Chains A and B, each alone.
Chain A
Amino acid sequence: MKGEWSAMRFDIVIIGGGLSGLTAGIALAEAGKDVALVSAGQSTLHFMGGSLDLLGSDERGNDLFKPLDAIAKLNEKHPYKKLEDVSRLAGVAKQILERAGLATTGYATANHWRITPIGALMPTWLTLEGMAAIDDPDKMPWRKVALVNIVNYLDFPTKFLAAGMRERGVEVDVKAVILPEFQQLRQSPTEMRSTNIAKVIEQNDLLVKFADQVNSVVGEGYDMVLLPSVLGISSNEKAMQLLRLINVPASYVDTLPPSVPGVRMQSQLRRRFMALGGSFFTGDQVIEGIYDGNNLKGVKTAKLDGTVLEADNFVLATGSFVSRGLVADYNHVYEPALGVDVDDLGLDRKTWATVDVTEAQPYMEMGVATDHKLHCKRSGNVMSNLYAAGSVLSGHNSIKLLDGAGVDMLTALQVTENILNQ
């Protein structure tokens, strides 16, 4: 039994099952490739909310209205500098989402603004259908808003949200609805979370009851009802149905995590990938690469003991520190799956972070080193068939620049094209 290993062969093996890995997986499968994806646990899409950012802020923290213009001025280390045509790839990304059943508003030519769960307005690129989106933060589209929460639901901080909008001259009234079904949820306070509320509403078909409650507490005189995004966990259909049942125009606003729209994005992208014939290795982890010079021949995983996953090309899309795509110990930062090179900041740990936590943190820009075609490097040598995409890449700070989803999707699409055009 021991000894020789068997091999499963694919055209492409992708390591990482978040936004970047799934985008590459779907794009490659749509091009007819046999793709396998290895995913170690669920992704940060669960914290992402209902919008995708392309580039929201410049280095000094100013909001950007025209992201494409600003991308042209980014420094050379930024991953966007390795894209052939940002505008075209942004269009492809929007279509990929659409075909996965994720309709969005917004375009790369002009940012719009999303409302964060704590009431700030942030520039963004694409927003899922049904979520509140504002074209210009200086001209609020509503005069009088009813902010409706569910009694005892704690992950929708209405005071912050109301304060944020009042600062911008909107009149806001906070209202609350009660349904007996939610009171039952309340028996276990740790479980009264967005995703469980969504399941309770959808399983018990509470849409009409919920809408009636909202209509009765809101009454007249409002031009917008804003609700926590606690609907539409498996598809957006029910979430949209509820909005139509409300007498006043209504939209959803992100809650604190876990995010229902984020979970939906994850599950619909995965469903799309599987429907295209992709193979998903769930809850497994790549632990070692098998190399032949500068060529990666196969990868071993923690669970498939005795089997190597072989492919012509590989994509590393394992995410940043929070997803364990990058790991820091006391002396250095490394990439744990394949041991590829990292653009780091040297051994002096003090230079990795700044004391003021609200300042840009230098460690955020550490990540996997790549050449202009997004090939990874190993001991300084460019790997011929191993690419990196998404947050694992070096050269940008997604918290400061608001470019996380854009980097995830567009570098994945560029890697896809680099592989297909080899």
Chain B
Amino acid sequence: MTIETQTQNMSVNNFEQCLKCSICTVYCPVSAVTPLYPGPKQAGPDGERYRLKNKAFFDEALKMCLNCKRCEVACPNDVHIGDIIQAARIKYSTHRPSLRDMMLANTDLVGTMASPFAPIANPVLKLKPMKAVLHGVMGIDKHRTFPDYSSRKFESWFKKEAAPKQSQYSKHVSYFHGCYVNYNYPQLGKDFVKVMNAVGYGVHLLEKEKCCGVALIANGMPKQAKRQGEVNMTSMRKAVAQGHAVLTTSSTCTFTMRDEYDHLLGIDNHDVRDSISLATRFLLQLIEKGEIKLAFREDYHKRVAYHSACHMERMGWVPYSTRLLRMIPGIDFVMLESQCCGISGTYGFKKENYERSQAIGKGLFDQIDEANPDCVATDCETCKWQIEMSTGTPVMNPISIIAEALDVEATRELNK
């Protein structure tokens, strides 16, 4: 009999590589503010050893994990601690999502219902009695205000105003706009189209777009998330077959579709993953290759503080957005020290999480107050809600800042 030696680590999520060094516990934003959460080491690789023996060791406190992945960024041994925790929740949790969780998670459905009634829904959702009902009956914290719903969805605007003009360009990309652009803030999508058109790219929507599913995963609905993910993958495959890159303006949607689909939902995305990119990254790479040029308005001035959203940090893509912003001559750029803002999508909307969410973000809010910028730039829409609510400072996506600072005519000329 020959003895075989295992020469390579082959555990799921690099689980066996954990040295028990505890560095992850230093960077967990949740355990820093509450002792009720066992922390990434215990919730992740340590707990997993027990769970593998007996599922009774699963602890529902794992739902306190923000899935920010800052433990993974800190880990010197590339253990996918956050994935271990989320996978355990999917596998072992017996907690059934409440009506509130289902509503928060179904951004698509709720957006579709709310948009036609936006003129009524927006003010009503801001009324104190309504907030009291949401807080008391639904468990949505009274301090929170739902982001406004737009009365005209981005898709409707695009189909009527932009789509007919896109065939005039010689190069093309597809745009995964996400729920936020579609239902809440179509302006970001319009800004994206403006910038891409100026550098000579036509923009197209995917044949079918569903919510990326990040909120479904977080709220315990992985099966629905998987179904929606498969729809997105099918549409993206068609776009990629036409030679399109699939661009987004949300770091979290991007991260979910590139990494969580495969790691958590078991969706095979290997053939499209490399084509999914954030718009800032796509633009910066083209600029660095000398394929496009941007020209900016001379009269543009703004003090911008950049906040590194957690999933942006996890993707390692922060330098793409910051280098792009720093190309704008009129920008006075401040880099904020990277820390979680505390909202984590739908997490901070739940009344049981509100205080924790604000405590987590406090360090960041203090930094922003001290930097005193005209606006905060970040690639994540839920960070935007949290920072605007907590600091009063307006928050813009880098693409909107580029669009605002861009000299469109001069840029068009440069890219003819």
Q: Can you list, as one digit per residue, whether each of A43-79 has a CB less than 8 Å from chain B (1) or not (0)?
A: 1101100000000000000000000000000000000
Query: B21 contacts which chain A residues (CB < 8 A)?
Result: 46-47, 257
Assess whether A258 is in contact with B313, with CB atoms less than 8 Å apart: no
Query: B318 contacts which chain A residues (CB < 8 A)?
Result: 282
A8-B323, A46-B21 known; A282+B75 contact, CB < 8 A: no
How many angstroms from the CA of A203 to the CA of B31 in the assembled complex? 13
Say whether A379 faces chain B, with CB atoms less than 8 Å apart: no
Assess whether B313 is in contact with A6, with CB atoms less than 8 Å apart: no
Say whether B73 faces chain A, with CB atoms less than 8 Å apart: yes
Stretch from B22-30, B88-96, B390-398 that touches the partner: B22-30
Q: Which of B43-64 contact A (CB under 8 A)?
A: 46
Contact of B25 among A195, A203, A307 (CB under 8 A): A195
Say whether A213 faces chain B, with CB atoms less than 8 Å apart: no
Say whether A191 faces chain B, with CB atoms less than 8 Å apart: yes
Assess whether B319 is in contact with A195, with CB atoms less than 8 Å apart: no
Q: Give chain A's interface residue range (CB within 8 Å of chain B).
A: 35 or more
Assess whether B289 is in contact with A41, with CB atoms less than 8 Å apart: no
Contact of A303 among B37, B275, B289, B315 (CB under 8 A): B315
Assess whether A307 is in contact with B245, with CB atoms less than 8 Å apart: no
Say whether B113 faces chain A, with CB atoms less than 8 Å apart: no
CB distance from A230 to the nearest CB of B (A): 13
CB distance from B78 to the nearest CB of A (A): 7
How many angstroms from the CA of A186 to the CA of B35 in the assembled complex? 7
CB distance from A165 to the nearest CB of B (A): 27
Assess whether A6 is in contact with B315, with CB atoms less than 8 Å apart: no
Contact of A281 among B26, B78, B319 (CB under 8 A): B319
Assess whether B314 is in contact with A46, with CB atoms less than 8 Å apart: no
Say whether A422 faces chain B, with CB atoms less than 8 Å apart: no
Query: B161 contacts which chain A residues (CB < 8 A)?
Result: none
Query: B76 contacts which chain A residues (CB < 8 A)?
Result: 40-44, 322-324
CB-nearest residue of chain A to B61 = A188
Say whether A190 faces chain B, with CB atoms less than 8 Å apart: yes
Assess whether B41 is in contact with A190, with CB atoms less than 8 Å apart: yes
Query: B285 contacts which chain A residues (CB < 8 A)?
Result: 6, 306-307
CB-nearest residue of chain A to B258 = A305
Q: Can you list, as one digit per residue, whether each of B103-145 has a CB less than 8 Å from chain A (1) or not (0)?
A: 0000000000000000000000000000000000000000000
Assess whether A304 is in contact with B39, with CB atoms less than 8 Å apart: no
Q: Can you list, as one digit per residue, whether each of A299-316 has a CB less than 8 Å from chain B (1) or not (0)?
A: 001111111000000000
How many angstroms from the CA of A271 to the CA of B289 in the assembled complex? 31
Say whether B2 faces chain A, with CB atoms less than 8 Å apart: no
Say whether B316 faces chain A, with CB atoms less than 8 Å apart: yes
Contact of B26 among A7, A184, A187, A258 (CB under 8 A): A258
Contact of B73 among A2, A192, A283, A301 (CB under 8 A): A283
CB-nearest residue of chain A to B313 = A282
Say whether B222 faces chain A, with CB atoms less than 8 Å apart: no
Query: A2 contacts which chain B residues (CB < 8 A)?
Result: 274
Assess whether B337 is in contact with A271, with CB atoms less than 8 Å apart: yes
Assess whether A6 is in contact with B22, with CB atoms less than 8 Å apart: no
How many angstroms from the CA of A188 to the CA of B33 in the assembled complex? 12
How many angstroms from the CA of A279 to the CA of B289 in the assembled complex? 20
Assess whether B23 is in contact with A283, with CB atoms less than 8 Å apart: no
Say whether A185 faces chain B, with CB atoms less than 8 Å apart: yes
Query: B74 contacts which chain A residues (CB < 8 A)?
Result: 41-42, 283
Say whether B284 faces chain A, with CB atoms less than 8 Å apart: yes
Assess whether B39 is in contact with A258, with CB atoms less than 8 Å apart: no
How many angstroms from the CA of A147 to the CA of B315 in the assembled complex? 45
A6-B285, A46-B21, A271-B337 known; A195+B26 contact, CB < 8 A: yes
Q: Can you list, as one digit per residue, whether each of B357-396 has a CB less than 8 Å from chain A (1) or not (0)?
A: 0010010000000000000000000000000000000000
Say whether A355 faces chain B, with CB atoms less than 8 Å apart: no
Q: List 8 A-B contacts (CB under 8 A).
A: A46-B21, A190-B46, A196-B31, A196-B32, A203-B33, A281-B319, A283-B74, A306-B274
Extra contacts besides A47-B21, A191-B38, A282-B73 (17): CB < 8 Å: A1-B274, A4-B289, A42-B75, A43-B76, A187-B35, A190-B46, A195-B26, A258-B22, A274-B335, A274-B337, A284-B316, A304-B316, A304-B317, A305-B274, A306-B274, A307-B288, A322-B76
